[in-house]
Amino acid sequence: MKKELGIFILLVVLCAVTTLENARFLSPENLINMANIIGMFGIFGIGAGLVIVTSGIDLSVGSLIALIGILLIMALTEWHWPWPLAALFVLGVAMVLGWVHGFLITRFHMQPFIVTLCGLLLYRGLARFIAQDTTIGFGDLPGFGTLRSLASGRWLGVPMPFVLLIIVSIIMWFVLHRSVYGRYLLAVGRNEEAARFSGINTRRVIASSYVLAGLLTGISGILLAFYTNSVTPSTHGTFYELYGIAAAVLGGCSLRGGEGSILGILIGTALLQVLQNLVNLLGIPSSLNFAVMGAVVLVGVLADQIFKQRAASRTKSR
Amino acid sequence: MTAAPLLEMAGISRRFPGVTALDSVNLRVGRGEVVALVGENGAGKSTLMKILGGVHQPDAGEIRLDGRPVKIHNVNDAIRLGIAFIHQELNVLDNLDVAANVFLGREPRKALGLIDRKKIHADTGPFLQRLGLAVSTRTRLDRLPLAHQQMVEIAKAMSLHARLLIMDEPTSSLTLSETNRLLELVCELSGQGVSVIYISHRLGEIDQCADRVLVLRDGRNVGELARGEATHDRLVSLMVGREIKNFYVRSDAPRTPGFFKVRNVRSSLFPDRTVSFDAVRGEILGFAGLIGAGRSEMAKALVGLEPSPAKEIVLDGKAIPIHTVREAIERGIYLVPENRRTEGLVVEMSVRENVSLPSLKRFARGGLIQRRRERDAALRQVEALQIKTPDVETRVLSLSGGTQQKVVLAKWLAMRPRVMILDEPTRGIDVGAKAEIYRIMRALAAQGAAILMISSDMEEILNVSDRVVVMHEGQITGLLERADCNEQNVMQLAVGRKIAAAKPPFET
């Protein structure tokens, strides 16, 4: 709880500073726009966080999002599949690919970094090949209005991605913090050996985290495709895995595994998006966008580390 | 020459917030003398040694070396004064060779700053000879058994001209023969004029090598016994401050032969050997042998942590398949592993989370954990086993070794074990906690479980077991009935010899 509090305070401070400098920060359009983006990034951020909890990492998120976008558009506009089938299809693809990652990692003891790095390269290449390296879009064909409004509509004025994020977060909060499965995830991340000796099927637990990450990335992928309305396979979703990882780490997930909080990931995601917004609203050259984000993540994690060391030396003075 | 002893620590006190770790403790070590330092965990042994190593400064008291007062501010000071430490956990880099380890941090350089390899190998050789270690200086440490790695550490100390060697539980990971070799070496070193402070929980070893035994309790000197005076009972009562009655408990609990039959277990370490034995309900069956005899691997294969497809397990007359550890657990066959910190516990988690880990589903409804039930179960175990923890939410990390081991036991005791395999159940645990663990094991046996105890502590094997199975290189060399359990017999079997007293480990 303390950990989330620190970054929450940071978030509030950033919001306050931005508001003072430019009141447009609190305008309805800006807030709605931000909620929309936070929704899309938060969902796959939670997936990234779950994998990090098992002391793994998923670098393939951005490329997978591109592949999902391309496949979804193809299924709807070229192959004219009914939208429920198309949606299930892309979610299925995302989960199967996640399962393949998990399988390679648990069965052949490959390092998650390597497996998902190869995924990053592979899916980007596939996406570009399938789309023949051209931008493709949904156009204004009829037939999938329901999916479109599910992905990019509003509910009581709130953008659907944000609504979905809240739903996903609540479910995942119970999964990670209250369920047997969540406890197993944390135990496996902390000490896989001890978990195995306790009769936990560690391979299945670890592999399943990649499947879940795939599913959540798939959902985000659909939302993002409708958000941009067309997908350029060479650039769609690039670096998104790093947003997910940064948000999770800011939110208290340790890359050593066994530690993580859904609430923290949410705040971390929001923080990153507020930062981007701040860069725009404060007239900072947008070329500095990444630099600002890198600096803030660095300072945030550093402050947390120093705080933790202090606390540790206080309790362990013997 | 001077009559002053090599080392004198006089009136050493050290306070930490909330505790007095040391209260005017005295310690004197003569040249070439071996002084054993004993005491329960928390008695102040390690604080005293950390003061010698410069990790802590004393609040009061004086350290004299050769009669001259010295101040030790850091490890380098200690090294300069000829004080070297051999810790329980080895301080070697196993990706480097022997010579590189011996000269680590003070490598002689050639031009361009490159390491003078020829010199370090040439200089390392004599030290190995002096210790009787017949390995090449070019051997990578990960190719060497633990005992030899430890010798390399001693060689390093010698190369630093150490005059005082502090050994903290040096034998906790060694086999019996390695232990004997180390004890011999301690005698040899003392003959060469090197003084040794020997810290151990194993009283038998102290008897063998120490000239004098110094006992600490609650940060004070509570007694000093010369060689010959230091009987087991006197040491124990000094250490715990009271008589421990029935340190080793026996019982006349009803025994059911043929309760647990194990046939053809094969482990990865010795894939062409198999192990078969019978265990009786109500007994503690000891498993003795040298380290590397394949006992731990056998246990892992038995419970399904390692594949062993051809094995047959019969429990209480029923054949049961065990392919995964889950299946073993469902049948009530549990393994308490050798390394509690890496295999037995998730040390960063709380007592509650550790205790419930193997039985978590019992506290869940619809996949969600019911915290209250989980907590209550943990509280019950804490009470039943008298686990000394401030709270069930305390992280296991901060508990003492003995308490941690009880938490591991608590994980399984809640689930009514029928067969409990304990691998080195009291390693690194102080005497008081040991007695409690033995009592728990005995009680469990009396409740109708079969206890298999793997141990490399001869004293423990001989005194705790009802019968002893001895293994050598992946095979059982014989079973000793209670009356035939003595050190000679166990050792003979452990090195693979045949003896008349040995029986087959199962009835055909």
Cα R_g (chain A), whole angstroms: 20
Residue B506, pLDDT score:
85
Q: Could you say which of A178, A190, A201 has the minimum Cβ distance to residue B349?
A: A190
pLDDT at B48: 92
**Measured distance CA(B102)–CA(B138) in Å, rounded:** 11
Q: Are B381 and B355 in contact (CB under 8 A)?
A: yes
Q: Which residues from chain A sit within 8 angstroms of residue B335, using beta carbons?
A: 197
pLDDT of residue A318: 40
Amino acid A239: pLDDT: 92
- Please list the rounded mean pLDDT of every run of 10 residues in chain A (318 residues): 80 92 91 95 97 96 97 93 95 98 96 96 97 90 82 90 97 95 95 93 96 97 94 94 93 89 95 91 88 87 81 59
Q: Vertex B74, ends B71 and B76: CA angle to 5°? A: 100
Q: Which of A198, A200, A259 to mutate to test the interface with B (most CBs of B within 10 A)?
A: A198
Token pair listed for A254: 């340790």
Task: Supply the pLDDT for residue A110.
Answer: 95
For residues B423 and B298, give the distance between their C-alpha atoms in angstroms, rounded to a whole number. Answer: 11
**Encoding tokens for residue B467?**
């019968």
Cα(A86)–Cα(A75) distance, integer angstroms: 6
Cα(B408)–Cα(B422) distance, rounded to whole angstroms? 10
Prediction pTM value:
0.82
CB contact under 8 A, A190 and B411: no
Q: Are strands B164-168 and B83-86 parallel, antiparallel or unpaired?
A: parallel
Chain A's closest residue to B329, CA to CA, is: A199
Domain topology for A39-295: ABC transporter involved in vitamin B12 uptake, BtuC (1.10.3470)
Chain-centroid distance, C-alpha A2 = 23
Beta bridge partners of B198: B36, B167
Paired strand residues for B261: B278, B314
B-chain residues near A199 (CB < 8 A): 325-326, 328-329, 358
Residue A5: CB atoms within 10 A of its CB come to 11
Cβ contact, residue pair B367, A183, below 8 Å: no
In angstroms, rounded to a whole number, what is the distance separating the alpha carbons of residues B48 and B83? 13
Distances (CA, A) of B81 to B47, B160, B366: 19, 10, 65
Burial grade of B164 (CB within 10 A; 0-12, 13-18, 19 or more): buried
Please tell me which residue of chain A has the smallest CA distance to B350.
Answer: A187
Across the interface, do B360 and A258 touch by the CB < 8 Å criterion?
A: no
DSSP B430: -
Q: Is B96 exposed, middle or buried (0-12, 13-18, 19+ CB in 10 A)?
A: middle
Q: Which long-range contacts (CB under 8 A, 24 or more apart) does B207-210 make?
A: B208/B183, B209/B34, B209/B36, B209/B183, B210/B34, B210/B35, B210/B36
Q: Is the ipTM of this complex over 0.85?
A: yes
> Mean pLDDT per 10-residue run, chain B (508 residues)?
80 84 92 90 84 90 92 89 85 89 88 88 91 89 88 90 90 78 90 92 83 90 87 80 68 79 90 92 91 88 90 92 93 92 92 94 92 94 91 90 91 92 88 88 92 90 92 91 87 85 83
Domains of chain B: 7-240 (3.40.50.300), 245-332+416-508 (3.40.50.300), 341-415 (no CATH)
**Cβ–Cβ below 8 Å for A183 and B357:** yes
Contacts of A178 in chain B (CB under 8 A): 368-369
* A190 contacts in chain B (CB < 8 Å): 346, 348-349
CA–CA gap between residue B356 and residue B374 (Å, rounded)? 7
Cβ contact A183–B305 (<8 Å): no
Tokens matching residue A142: 């009829």
Burial of B296-317, coded b for 16+ CB within 10 Å and e otherwise, reads: bbbbbbbbbbbebeebebebbe
What are the tokens at B240?
A: 């715990």
- Please tell me the number of Cα atoms within 13 Å of B163 on its side-chain side: 12
Measured distance CA(B351)–CA(A2) in Å, rounded: 21
